[in-house]
Amino acid sequence: MGSVRAAGVIGLAILCGLCYTVWPNRIWLGSTVFLAVFGVLMMLQEVRHGRSRN
């Protein structure tokens, strides 16, 4: 379930990045960077928990 959430967050980051290309704004840029970093951290946490379970 966590990987689905991480993929959703990364999908939102891609969407914000596309919005930034259409309408350059600091809010879109900040949202893109924040969501991308947050999504990657969620994926890393999921990988770490997956390894500890096995």
At residue 3, the pLDDT reads 73
At residue 54, the pLDDT reads 53
Structure confidence by residue, pLDDT tens digits, 13-51: 999 999 999 999 999 999 999 999 999 999 888 888 776
- Any alpha helices (H) in the chain, and if so which ranges? 2-22, 26-53
Residue 27 structural domain: 2-53
At residue 29, the pLDDT reads 93
At residue 52, the pLDDT reads 57
Amino acid at 10: I
Do 20 and 29 meet the contact criterion of CB atoms below 8 Å apart? yes
Overall number of domains in the chain: 1
At residue 6, the pLDDT reads 84
